[in-house]
Amino acid sequence: MRGAMAAACTGLQRLTDYLQDPEKVARFQRLCGVQSTVPPAREEAGARLRRNLHPNGLENGAAPRGGEGKKQPLRRNSLTGEVGQQFVIRNQLLYYLFTFGTELGNELFYISFFPFWIWNVDAYVGRRLIVIWVWVMYLGQCAKDLVRWPRPPSPPVLKLEVLYNTEYGMPSTHAMSGTAIPLSLLLLTQGRWQYPFVYGLLLAVGWCSLVCLSRIYMGMHSILDVVVGVFYAILILIVFHPALEIIDNFNLTYKYAPLIIISLHLVLGIFSFTLDTWSTSRGDTAQILGSGAGIACGSHVNYLLGLLAEPSSHELPFSIPPFTVNLLGKVMLRVLFGLVVLLLIRAVMKRVTIPLACKVSGIPCDDIRKARQRMEVELPYRYLTYGMVGFAVMFIVPYLFTWVGLL
């Protein structure tokens, strides 16, 4: 028995080492046409220098290896000032495809997709989808800061993205959201909307595959990070999907739901911020929790004011309406009008909450970048800003639609 267990552990360790090997990531990048502009010897010397001087620093190479391809400009992380590597792209189609795939897990996608779904498709599905998204992303970020496994080393891996390079790598939260969002949409719309199940399944699998492969292509995760992220998201779905009815009813109908929601999300944020060094994960976690709280509170206000028009059972399932010029025009106007309102609210809230948090906590506000990295500033500014954005998505913007005749 002990021998069998030892053999199983050894086999599991070998599989883990195989899937975590950075050479597999670098090989996939080369296969997809990504090449460094720095000779191997200089690249290795630069890596040693970076490890000695700055754990997260990246040297910029200038000596191309030759051959044809499009040399990409240097990217800079606006939060840390970190500058990425230069690289040559020999397959433009894959580059733009995987860039799109990685954007499916970034803020720009979330602030566009969730409002679009709530305003134009189905608010019922949208608010439940966001409950799943919040828990998946929160538990994923917490797992990263507990496991604390670094991202694939460079070299041999090329870092095509620098925005999240300060975070730990295990598990991939991009892979988690890229798994949870399409699968949740599939589960939540079955029986509520009329469409062939096989089409929805193919879309979910394609969405998930694109996001996962994009993270390896960008050099941000090992294969193991991505695989664990997918299975971790599925496990969270198994636990939380059956409870969505209870959670949604509580958010809508319970008298003190907003107070409990705001308090719970704040407590979750405070107790998860125990990092040894600053990284983008802390701000992202506060942002996600704030958005979830805002959406839930907006839903509660809609229910209290009688603005939720849920269909009766005999009206289901919905059929997909024909795509007319009038429908598409109204959808575009809602999205443009709504996003302008959201961006204005976000800008105003940032302008107000950052100096206010600095003043309350006694932190100098001369250097905004450094001030935003302090927990006393980052937590309230992110939470309040995106809490208001979430509230606007669910209540303020739809209410404005009634004023301008867009409903």
Q: What is the pLDDT of residues 196-247, one digit of tens each?
A: 999 999 999 999 999 999 999 988 888 999 999 999 999 999 999 999 999 9
Q: φ and ψ at 87, to 5 degrees? A: -150, 160
One domain for residues 114 and 230: yes
Higher pLDDT, 283 or 245: 245
Classified as helix, coil or strand, 309 is coil
One domain for residues 262 and 385: yes
Instruction: Name the helix (H) or strand (E) containing 20.
Output: helix 2-20
**Within a domain: residue 7?**
no
Domain count, the chain: 2
The domain of 57 spans 34-90
**Integer distance in angstroms from the first to the last C-alpha of the chain?**
67
CA 271 to centroid of chain Cα atoms = 20
Mean pLDDT of all residues in 50-57: 41
Instruction: Look up 221 and say whether it is catalytic.
Output: yes
**Within a domain: residue 5?**
no
Highest mean pLDDT among 16-30, 270-284, 369-383: 16-30
One domain for residues 204 and 245: yes
Of 174, 265, 300, 314, catalytic: 174
Residues in contact with 95: Cβ distance below 8 Å, sequence separation at least 6, in sequence order: 32, 33, 34, 89
Using the predicted structure, report yes or no on whether residue 361 has a pLDDT greater than 80.
no
For β-strands 193-194 and 318-319, DSSP reports them as: parallel
**Within a domain: residue 387?**
yes
Token pair for 18:
């195989």
One domain for residues 47 and 157: no
Q: pTM for the full model?
A: 0.83
**Within a domain: residue 151?**
yes
Residues in contact with 372: Cβ distance below 8 Å, sequence separation at least 6, in sequence order: 79, 283, 354, 378, 381
**Within a domain: residue 26?**
no
Instruction: Look up 54 and say whether it is catalytic.
Output: no
One domain for residues 238 and 371: yes
Burial class (CB in 10 A: 0-12, 13-18, 19+), 176: buried
One domain for residues 192 and 76: no
Classified as helix, coil or strand, 84 is coil
**Within a domain: residue 11?**
no
Higher pLDDT, 281 or 285: 285
One domain for residues 125 and 235: yes
**Within a domain: residue 14?**
no
pLDDT for 286-331, tens place per residue? 889 999 999 999 999 999 988 777 776 667 788 888 888 988 999 9
Q: Which of 49, 67, 90 lies at the terminal end of a domain, its last residue?
A: 90
One domain for residues 299 and 380: yes
Q: Which of 59, 90, 121 lies at the terminal end of a domain, its last residue?
A: 90
- pLDDT over 90 percentage in the chain: 40
Q: φ and ψ at 167, to 5 degrees? A: -80, 160
**What does DSSP assign to residue 32?**
T
Mean pLDDT of all residues in 63-72: 46
Highest mean pLDDT among 30-39, 82-91, 140-149, 257-266: 257-266
Mean pLDDT of all residues in 149-154: 84
One domain for residues 331 and 348: yes
One domain for residues 196 and 61: no
Distances (CA, A) of 62 to 90, 96, 119, 162, 366: 17, 23, 48, 18, 34
One domain for residues 117 and 83: no
Q: Which of 90, 108, 129 lies at the terminal end of a domain, its last residue?
A: 90
Mean pLDDT of all residues in 252-270: 88
**Within a domain: residue 6?**
no
Burial class (CB in 10 A: 0-12, 13-18, 19+), 359: exposed
Of 221, 241, 265, 300, catalytic: 221
One domain for residues 77 and 131: no
